[in-house]
Chains A and B, each alone.
Chain A
Amino acid sequence: MEATLFYILALVTLVGTGFAITARQAVRAIVYLVNSFFALALIFYLLGAPLVAAFEVIIYAGAIMVLFLFVIMMLDLGHPERMKSPRLVDWIPALVLVLVTAASVAVLAMEHHAQPLAAFSGISVRQFSQALFTRYGVAVELVSLQLLFALVGAIYLGRRR
């Protein structure tokens, strides 16, 4: 049951991302990407990470993608003629890269027998926050400092002069 759901969600993620990176309009790319991130959040939930799944929906799909959408609308980049889309020649190195990756994954899949994960019921929010605020307290402080610096930098870059 879980495995079937995982494969369906993986397909949705890959198809959504594929449409996003080939979309001719930036707004469509963002909407496809939000779709793909929702599927990815469900995959996180299946992998026993409910908190990360919630943050994926709230921060990625809810905040970061909306920020992209705001900037695209503010700068009026929604028209395809105002954004130069890649020529066919530009896709060649990217396609070569994807083909090499896909081929190496296929070679690995040939000689590797996938083993299911051990019995595991997910990490509860309590365990997660205990580890976060006791063992990784310094990291929390560092990340909050970093967010403050990003805030100051964004205000500095965006001010009117």
Chain B
Amino acid sequence: MSIPLFHVLILAGILFAMGLACTIAWRANVIMMLIGIEIMLNAVMLTLVGGSAQWGSADGQIFSLMLMALTSSEVSLALAMVVYLHRRKQSVDTDDFTSMKG
């Protein structure tokens, strides 16, 4: 294994920043915000797998598997919510959902 952990961490950091940028820039669109969250979670998984490779133990990989299960349940709930909101207002624009505004 000739890949430095440092470079893996740099890649994960840049990926996380790109996911965060996606979530912030597309804040008017629910679907693209969810995609940004997916990118961030993948960056975290890359960090965990890199740590697992550095110390030669399975714990990081197990945690990334847990993270994957968490992500799939999060996405299923969030997309069900998107379908529900679209049925109510015919839109996925976050600016249209202001009914809780005082």
Q: Which residues of A contact B (CB under 8 A)?
A: 1-3, 6-7, 10, 13-14, 17-18, 20-21, 26, 29-30, 33, 37, 40, 43-44, 46-49, 51-52, 55-56, 59-60, 63-64, 67-68, 71-72, 74-75, 77, 83-86, 90-91, 93-95, 97-98, 101-102, 105, 108-109, 112, 114-123, 127-128, 131-132, 136, 139, 143, 146-147, 149-151, 153-154, 157-158
A97 with B17: CB separation less than 8 A? yes
B interface size (C-beta, 8 A): 69
Question: Cβ of A95: which chain B residues have Cβ within 8 Å of it?
Answer: 21
CB contact between B80 and one of A6, A29, A157 (< 8 Å): that residue: A157
B61 with A52: CB separation less than 8 A? yes
A112 to chain B minimum Cβ distance, whole angstroms, is 6
> How far apart sit A46 and B5, CA to CA, in the bound complex (Å)?
12
CB contact between B54 and one of A18, A21, A109, A117 (< 8 Å): that residue: A117
CB contact between B92 and one of A21, A83, A101, A147 (< 8 Å): that residue: A83
B31 with A21: CB separation less than 8 A? no
Q: Which residues of B contact A (CB under 8 A)?
A: 1-8, 10-11, 13-22, 24-29, 31-32, 34-36, 38-39, 42, 45-46, 49-50, 52-54, 56-59, 61-62, 64-66, 68-77, 79-84, 86, 92-93
Ranked nearest first, the 6 interchain pairs of A and B with the lowest CB-CB distance are: A150-B73, A114-B4, A94-B21, A21-B22, A101-B17, A157-B80
B61 with A49: CB separation less than 8 A? yes
A149 with B11: CB separation less than 8 A? no
